[in-house]
Structure 1
Amino acid sequence: MTDSNNRPGKIHLDRNIKRFREMLGIKQEALAHELGADWSQKKISLLEQKETVEDAILAQVSEILKIPVEAIQNFDEEQAITVISSTFNDNSAVVYNNPVFNPMDKIIKLHEEKIALYERMLKEKDEMMVRLERLLEGK
């Protein structure tokens, strides 16, 4: 099934305008104000209920929302939901925390480093004791 622009499915520009406006946190009144004096909140509400939107109006809305016209024209919520759900269902969005090293090896290495440090400290203490004994004998 294709719409008049040979796109699969039926893409409702009105819904897309509403969705983008809501995602951006823009109220109907604010959009109406930006579109000009002959626009009102009610007229925006009616625009968001029409299946088709005039190209000139679509271009103005696109400019106000700072979204490319093509994004509004081609956004298909059902397709986006399908992509998102299939991404989660096939686990491609899941990050697995499988370390490439064995955590026990790291713990053992840290333990060995700790022992080596302790042995160096003992050796330095023994050398210091020898020096102190020599100093005391020299007095």
Structure 2
Amino acid sequence: MESKIKVKPKKNHLGRNIARIRAFRGIKQATLAAELGWQQQQLSELEKQEDVPEEVLEQIADLLGVTVEIIKEFDERAVIYNINHYNDIHDNTYQAGSSTITYSEPNEKIVELYDRLLNFLEQEKARIK
């Protein structure tokens, strides 16, 4: 006999999603609250709520520079996964002006910049003498 288990889709905690997106964007709670014309405590309480009114969600999304859908569907695990695996899929190509530089290792760029700095300092030292 086959039994089926019904899995209830997990509902996103909108207040928590707002708090996390705000933090990822580097926006302080007091700053976002002021932009909304609220006290910081009001925003703090909103970030504890699972549901957020649609009109408030639209205002906050606009201020955070994201869509309402991003807030509703935000998945921190997916963000962390993408950050951790960015170098696995990114081609490490930097394009400046008409030239393109490809780094097989991210540390190559640091080494190159350090070498350029040393060369510059040596030239300045020679110029001063």
- Segments of structure 2 that go 5 or more residues without pairing to the other structure are 1-6, 91-129
Q: Which amino acid is the alignment partner of residue 77 of structure 1?
A: E
Question: What's the % identity of the aligned pairs?
Answer: 43
Q: Quick one: which of 81, 86, 101 aligns to 1:84? A: 81
Deviations along 1:11-69, one digit per CA (max 9) or x if unpaired, are: 11111100010111111111111112xx1100111011001000010000001011011
Scaled by the length of structure 1, what TM-score is found?
Answer: 0.52
Matches for 1:34-113 after TM superposition, within 5 Å: 34-36=35-37, 39-78=38-77, 80=78, 84=81, 93=88
Q: TM-score, normalised by structure 2?
A: 0.55
Aligned Cα RMSD in Å? 2.5
Task: Find the aligned partners of 2:42 and 2:18 in 1 and give their Cα distance.
Answer: 13
Aligned structure 1 segments of 4 or more residues deviating by more than 2 angstroms: 92-95
How many pairs were matched up? 82
SS in 1 for 2:88: coil
CA distance in 2, matches of 1:30, 1:18: 12
Quickly say closer, same or farther: Cα 1:93–1:67, change in 2 above 3 A: same
Which of structures 1 and 2 has the bigger CA Rg?
1
- Higher helix proportion: 1
Alpha-carbon offset, residue 76 of structure 1:
2.1
Gaps of 5+ in 1: 3-7, 96-139
Name the structure where strand makes up a greater proportion of residues: 2
